[in-house]
Amino acid sequence: MLSTLLVVLPIFALIFAGWLARRIGVLGAAATTELNRFVVFLALPALLFDVTAHAHWSAIWKPGFIGAFGLSSLAIFALTVLIRRGEGRPLADAAVDGLNAGYANTGFMGFPLALVAFGPEALAPTTVATILTVCAVFAVAIVLIETGLRREAVAAGQGGARGPVWRTVGRSLLRNPLLVAPALGALVPCLGLALPAPVETFLKLLGGAASPCALVALGLFLAQKRGRQSGQGRVAGLLVGLKLAAHPLLAYGLGRYLFDLPPLLLHVAVLMAALPTGTGPFMLAEFYRREADLTATVVLVSTVLAVLTVSGYLATL
């Protein structure tokens, strides 16, 4: 449990730093939005480009692990979207909620926990889980959010939504740095190219700011005084339960019974799925102005509870 706590402690420290800066007036009301825009348009695209540009596909090609973790993440995402749509939520909101339940904090918490629990052999599958989370699951969510927003614009008769929905959505996706950056980064290893040292340094510096800035922005958002929406506690409980319980259980079932993973890959897949909700959903929720309050609650609560659930899982191994 101590190792899990040591990994989680910096996360809480960054959230608290943002919360305190807002409460004492060091940062103003606009800081949340502006800091989040920095992450979405600069820091996170640099991180995604860097991850895919340095991916050694031959070393990380693990079909069984990809199936177990990837399918479990997408299945939990899809199930959440269906549940929330059934409750009458718009598609864009349901997609953000899907991320809350299916987007694990593999980047910030996955690597140190995997290293402590399983050693250096676990780093390659952890990289796979990170790519699947920040690229594949994230991309599906963005497509659904953009589709939902364009449908709403068409229904409202707004002039900016002329033409077929698929065309306007396609244009938005092609201009979205969170999709363009990893796609361009993937071309680097595919074409056998190497990034110059200054470019790598630039990407490391800029990309390294993504998670800390997102956590500070989360703290800033939590510090804002706002009314609590009716039923939000129930929904947050549902999303946290799906993330911390349903996601790892599904990953275990797929990994053991469908893909017959060896013990190391199986336990890494379950550990990655058991991690709390990452900052990606909050960045999108704040950027699109959809479900940001609920998302902030899910990120915070799931991170607190994960200290117990992840420690309990590791203790059983």
Say how many CA atoms lie within 13 Å of 16 toward its Cβ: 6
- State the DSSP string of 147-171: HHHHHHHHHTT-GGG-S-HHHHHHH
Residue 59: name the closest of 124, 110, 106, 115 by CA: 124
Q: Which domains does the chain have, with CATH numbers?
A: 2-21+33-316 (1.20.1530)
CA distances from 133 to 98, 267, 301 (A): 12, 17, 20
Beta bridge partners of 104: 277
Residue 222: name the closest of 14, 1, 15, 5 by CA: 15
Q: Rounded to the nearest 5 degrees, what angle is found at the Cα of 117, between the Cα atoms of 111 and 120?
A: 60
- State the DSSP string of 6-63: HHHHHHHHHHHHHHHHHHTTSS-TTHHHHHHHHIIIIIHHHHHHHHHHT--HHHH--H
Q: Quick one: angle between helices 232-241 and 91-102, nearest 10?
A: 50
- Encode pLDDT of 178-199 as tens digits: 778 888 988 888 888 889 999 9
Confidence band, pLDDT 50/70/90 cuts, at residue 218: confident
Q: Which residue has the tokens 């449990």?
A: 1
Cα gap 12→63, rounded to integer Å:
35
Cα gap 46→180, rounded to integer Å:
11
Cα gap 127→52, rounded to integer Å:
10
pLDDT at residue 2 is higher than 80: no
Confidence band, pLDDT 50/70/90 cuts, at residue 1: low
Q: What pLDDT does residue 186 have?
A: 84
- Encode pLDDT of 121-165 as tens digits: 888 888 889 888 887 888 889 889 988 888 888 777 765 545 565
Q: Which residue has the tokens 């990380």?
A: 60
pTM given for the model: 0.81
Report the b/e string of 138-148 with b at 16+ CB within 10 A.
Answer: bbbbbbbbbbb
Helices and strands, number each (H, E), in the chain: 19, 0
- Encode pLDDT of 254-270 as tens digits: 999 999 999 999 999 99
- At 70, list the tokens: 């990837």
